[in-house]
Amino acid sequence: MSAAVDFLARLCGRAAPALPPAARAIAAADRRGAGSYPDPGPDRLVAECLAWLERAQDASSSADGGVARHYSAISGWAPSYPETTGYIVPTLLACAERTGRQDLVDRARRMLDWLVAIQFPEGAFQGGAAPRLPVVFNTGQIVLGLAAGACNLGGYRDSLHRAADWLVSVQDADGCWRRHASPFALAGEKTYDTHVAWGLIEAERILSGRGYGEAALANIRWALTRQQANGWFADCCLTDPRRPLTHTLGYALRGVVEGYRFSGEAGLLAAARRTADGLVSALRPDGWLPGRLDARWRAAADWVCLTGSSQVAHCWLQLYQITGAKRYRDAAQRANRWVRRTVLLDGPAEQRGGVKGSFPFDGGYGRFEFLNWAVKFTIDANLLEQQLETRQGTSSGQF
């Protein structure tokens, strides 16, 4: 089995390893339902998840300043993962701003220094620990971190410039990225590359006048040619375009939302709302969102992709901010509450505050793993919920 095929098998749950007792116990508890765990609320959840990210940086098996890709209940801590380390940086800096913790700033700087050290001469970044190949999607995610670093820490502008220039240079005339695809996804066009476009939008805000914003909007407009009337996106999954993950749908939606926030184009807001409304229609009253959805927004999995639930919740909250439509706020709060009730708040340090790939633990995404990006997006969604509640006078906003 090749490294890429093995990665996809693990990520999407097709591997069947022998389980240690602890993994079996977590999966069994999960099968009893999310109600097995109490809702700690956003403040406690953010604090525990943030502490898990700190441990993931310190425990990375490659010990390079990056954040371990995951903790596996089978094999332990993984090496640092460039892509997700990149977009964890803005989350750490947001937490540092809210708490005044200089140590979080120092951690973000260590992450960025590692990323700069592994950047290819042409400006691109690799798609994983190995093979070391330049990849568009991963570069776009690291651009988010470099932009946050350039804005908040000083420095990193040259690295940001080279990465953004490379993304523009390998983009096709219609706005799609077809070259330098990830070796860890099926071949073909990807509408979730709007999340790469968002990286270019952030680069434009730091280094304006270089065409990054126009390139970003070109990609988003291309992606909208693949959006159906009901908001569902074609070609929007790592492994199964007919039944995309909420994770990759969340990527696509976030890119469109950020495109609207940057440009003010009414058509982008309308497109974002179509997708957001479709996702609302798939959400159960208790906050359970299927991990995969078909083209009619029907459940195509009996498990939850927790990463996707948190990403979508964050987008719903952004749309509530923009439109005032309470259905988005209510849906986000239900989804956030559901995810919070899946997080372990006691037990071994490598599990406490970690967010699983799937709920239940043996579901079809990131099986038996606590994923660093699941933790990152869960923090983001709960931070935004905190901010909205604070403005309404219903939360301390502390963690």
Q: Is residue 213, in this structure, part of any structural domain at all?
A: yes
DSSP string, 302-365: SSEEHHHHHHHHHHHHHHHHHH--HHHHHHHHHHHHHHHTTS--SS-TTTTT--BSEESTTSSS
- Work out how many domains the chain is built from and give that number: 1
pLDDT band at 17 (very low <50, low <70, confident <90, very high): low
Q: Is residue 272, in this structure, part of any structural domain at all?
A: yes
What 8-state DSSP symbol labels residue 242? T
User: Which pLDDT value is given to residue 155?
Assistant: 93
375 burial type by CB count under 10 A (0-12 exposed, 13-18 middle, 19+ buried): buried
Instruction: Tell me the CA distances in angstroms from 332 to 297, 321, 356, one per residue in order.
Output: 17, 12, 19
Average model confidence (pLDDT) for the chain?
93
- Per-residue pLDDT of 60-86, as tens digits, reads 999 999 999 999 999 999 999 999 999
Q: Is residue 21, in this structure, part of any structural domain at all?
A: no
Quote the pTM value: 0.93
Q: Rounded distance, CA 87 to CA 148, Å?
A: 9
The three-point CA angle 32-35-39 to 5° equals 145
Residue 92 has pLDDT above 50, yes or no: yes
CATH code for the domain of 79: 1.50.10.10
Q: Quick one: average pLDDT of 23-29?
A: 86
- Per-residue pLDDT of 223-262, as tens digits, reads 999 999 999 999 999 999 999 999 999 999 999 999 999 9
Residues 6+ away with beta carbon under 8 Å from 374: 306, 307, 310, 355, 356, 357, 366
Q: Is residue 3, in this structure, part of any structural domain at all?
A: no
pLDDT band at 26 (very low <50, low <70, confident <90, very high): confident
Which three-class secondary structure state does DSSP give residue 77?
Answer: strand
Instruction: Lay out the sheet containing 369-371: strands in order across.
Output: 76-77, 70-72, 369-371
- Sign for the pseudo-dihedral over CA of 373, 186, 138, 264: negative
What are residue 175's phi and psi, to 5 degrees?
Answer: 100, -15
Q: Is residue 22, in this structure, part of any structural domain at all?
A: no
Which three-class secondary structure state does DSSP give residue 134?
Answer: strand
pLDDT band at 6 (very low <50, low <70, confident <90, very high): very low
Name the pairing type of β-strands 358-359 and 304-305.
antiparallel
Q: Is residue 2, in this structure, part of any structural domain at all?
A: no
User: Which pLDDT value is given to residue 171?
Assistant: 98
Q: What percent of the chain has a predicted confidence (pLDDT) above 70?
A: 93
In terms of residue numbers, what domain contains 317?
28-391
Q: Is residue 10, in this structure, part of any structural domain at all?
A: no
Q: Quick one: average pLDDT of 207-211?
A: 97
Q: Is residue 23, in this structure, part of any structural domain at all?
A: no
